[in-house]
Amino acid sequence: MKFLDGQILDNSHIYSLRIHYEDTDIGGIVYHTKYLNFIERARSSLIRLLGFPAEKFLKLNQSIVVKNINISWYSPCSLGDCIFVKTNLIELKNASLCLQQVIFNEENNKKLASADVKLCFVNENMKVIKLPEKFSYVLKTNLPN
Amino acid sequence: MKFLDGQILDNSHIYSLRIHYEDTDIGGIVYHTKYLNFIERARSSLIRLLGFPAEKFLKLNQSIVVKNINISWYSPCSLGDCIFVKTNLIELKNASLCLQQVIFNEENNKKLASADVKLCFVNENMKVIKLPEKFSYVLKTNLPN
Amino acid sequence: MKFLDGQILDNSHIYSLRIHYEDTDIGGIVYHTKYLNFIERARSSLIRLLGFPAEKFLKLNQSIVVKNINISWYSPCSLGDCIFVKTNLIELKNASLCLQQVIFNEENNKKLASADVKLCFVNENMKVIKLPEKFSYVLKTNLPN
Amino acid sequence: MKFLDGQILDNSHIYSLRIHYEDTDIGGIVYHTKYLNFIERARSSLIRLLGFPAEKFLKLNQSIVVKNINISWYSPCSLGDCIFVKTNLIELKNASLCLQQVIFNEENNKKLASADVKLCFVNENMKVIKLPEKFSYVLKTNLPN
């Protein structure tokens, strides 16, 4: 089932998905907040692919939380479209990281939306903690910026 | 904020909601699975209203799980419609209960969908346990069938 | 992107997916209504695979609507699990069809849920219409029951 | 059902809602993208309250689309919490508007998240069009900044 987790290609993580009925709204296009779900699936798939599935962190009472997202929508997509999320690492600090996640239409490579996503690790009390060293190392090795 | 939890009226629980963009799909009507979300909100609101909010059960490592739903859709609804869920108790046993939940359009009282929902309590190991006595008592007192 | 649409295997359609954060709830397992989304994705993928993508029907002002679902939940699944939906045709009439859709855990083949789903075609006025002949033919040829 | 649409209070629109099971995830708190759904419900309720329900625009082949959201999360909320969205108009131009939407916990007024949302009107070809004059007038009259 590895194909479900995307792949690393030219220093980026690529995650593909098909637009389903549940993603669309009465306007005939994808409901805008679903793009944030898509990029979350891409992020979770990326760290799974790198050997750090989210459920492992949960067992250690740690989780990755989103602090800020700045997202722009450029062009719509709709039922049946194949799209992909291209994720790059743009900043890696001791206690936070920032990813750029751009969504493209698979058919014509048109850019649909683009987001900068700031994340950090928290413990069970929602206190920010240092990124696990091995995690940071694997991340910057696979997604050099 | 009590108005958010609906009300008991003539031995039924009535829960109202407005259809939002996120509930619709490209067909121009409400996506069919959202009706199951609506009736779940109604059930949770019902037990909250009766003094048994779901988060209280979670603290005791108990939760109410759905075993079976048999749902029929009769008529669509769309963006901006006000609908309400009418919930009745149709069976109350030692270790399970069954609710009938019917969804109506507020404007014309048209029946949109109807579901029979079988529920039980489980502990943290997902083992079925007896319904809390006080819970059963309050339920059958407020929703006599 | 064909791999996103599943495959026909031994007269059944098999559709695989990974459980994501958005699918889970505070109980630590998949929120029950998400199973209906999963089986809808499987159905849409099936008809796409057979050459009848839903958006084609929409252009003809036709759509497939769900009339009834009877679904039982047997066992939970959670974040990171790979599951698959096995879809079989159990009834094909002039103006309706019935599918059986069973969800399994990929790792151990445990049955998680099972649904009987009754569907029909409607026109733009939500009136039931005859199933397109070619559609019925392809369906029963690929999923003989 | 007017109570479902919130109210104008001191030049802001206030929209209240209860956190449901479907809003939470395995982390025990609300899934981050749901905040974008909450603020969309608040925006739709605001324009409905002011006499411009979204479905009216759709009938004219117009819709309001989101161009950019910059959202920060400060503090989590969970099952059963009552929260409210406070919406203010921060910019109104010929062809776009910008809202600030802040989410608070009802119980302690703690700020949970804050978003700047840039919107515009589009026609059926997704071309940006001028804001309807009456809409702009009513908006700035009710939400003076």
Q: What is the mean pLDDT of residues D100-127?
A: 97
Distance of CA A135 to the CA centre of its chain: 16
C-alpha to C-alpha distance for D145 and D131, rounded to whole angstroms: 18
**Residues of C whose CB is below 8 A from B55:** 26
pLDDT at position B1, please? 56
Decide if B1 is inside a domain: no
C-alpha to C-alpha distance for A47 and C79, rounded to whole angstroms: 13
Assigned token pair, B28: 């121009």
CB B98 within 8 A of CB B115: no
C-alpha to C-alpha distance for A116 and A98, rounded to whole angstroms: 7
Question: Looking at CA atoms only, how far is residue A62 from chain D in angstroms?
Answer: 9
Whole-number average pLDDT of chain B: 96
Residues, chain D: 145
Decide if D145 is inside a domain: no
Assigned token pair, C62: 């036709």
pLDDT in tens, D30-61: 999 999 999 999 999 999 999 999 999 999 99
pLDDT in tens, C11-26: 999 999 999 999 999 9
DSSP of chain C, one letter per residue? -GGGG-EEETTEEEEEEE--GGGB-TTSSB-TTHHHHHHHHHHHHHHHHTT--HHHHHHTT-EEEEEEEEEEE-S---TT-EEEEEEEEEEE-SS-EEEEEEEEETTT--EEEEEEEEEEEE-TT--EEPPPHHHHHHHHHHS--
pLDDT in tens, C107-131: 999 999 999 999 999 999 999 999 9
**Which residue, chain included where needed, has tokens 């939380």?**
A65
Which 28-47 residues of chain C touch chain B by CB within 8 A?
A: 32-33, 36-37, 40
Residue C90: domain span = 7-140
Question: Looking at CA atoms only, how far is residue A20 from chain C in angstroms?
Answer: 7
Number of domains in chain D: 1
Assigned token pair, A20: 């389903």
Per-residue pLDDT 10s for chain A (145 aa) are: 567 899 999 999 999 999 999 999 999 999 999 999 999 999 999 999 999 999 999 999 999 999 999 999 999 999 999 999 999 999 999 999 999 999 999 999 999 999 999 999 999 999 999 999 999 999 999 999 8
C-alpha to C-alpha distance for B8 and A46, rounded to whole angstroms: 48
Q: Is ipTM strictly over 0.85? A: yes
Assigned token pair, D45: 């309720």
Decide if A2 is inside a domain: no
Q: How many CA atoms lie within 13 A of C144 on its CB side?
A: 2
- A26·D58 Cβ contact <8 A: yes
Assigned token pair, B123: 């502990």
More confident residue, B40 or C145: B40
Q: Which residues of A53-71 are buried (b: 16+ CB within 10 A; e: fewer)?
A: bbbebbeeebbbbbbbbeb
- B21·A26 Cβ contact <8 A: yes
Decide if A1 is inside a domain: no
**Which residue, chain included where needed, has tokens 């069970």?**
A124
Percent of chain B with pLDDT over 70: 99
C-alpha to C-alpha distance for D70 and A69, rounded to whole angstroms: 6
State the SS3 of chain B.
Answer: CHHHHCEEECCEEEEEEECCHHHECCCCCECCCHHHHHHHHHHHHHHHHCCCCHHHHHHCCCEEEEEEEEEEECCCCCCCCEEEEEEEEEEECCCCEEEEEEEEECCCCCEEEEEEEEEEEECCCCCEECCCHHHHHHHHHHCCC
C-alpha to C-alpha distance for C114 and C70, rounded to whole angstroms: 8
Mutation site, D3, D14, D22, interface B, largest B CB count within 10 A: D22
Of B1, B18, B22, the CB nearest to D1: B18
Angstrom CA distances, C7 to C20, C69, C117, D82, stand at: 22, 23, 20, 45
- C40·A18 Cβ contact <8 A: no
Decide if D124 is inside a domain: yes
Of C40, C58, C76, the CB nearest to B33: C40
Decide if A145 is inside a domain: no
Decide if B145 is inside a domain: no
With a CB cutoff of 8 Å and minimum separation 6, the contacts of D114 are D71, D72, D74, D100, D101, D102, D103
CATH classification of the domain holding B97: 3.10.129.10
**Which residue, chain included where needed, has tokens 């719509």?**
A76
Decide if B89 is inside a domain: yes
pLDDT at position D12, please? 98
Q: What is the dihedral of CA A133, A138, A139, A144, to 10 degrees?
A: 120
C-alpha to C-alpha distance for D65 and D140, rounded to whole angstroms: 19
CB C138 within 8 A of CB C51: yes
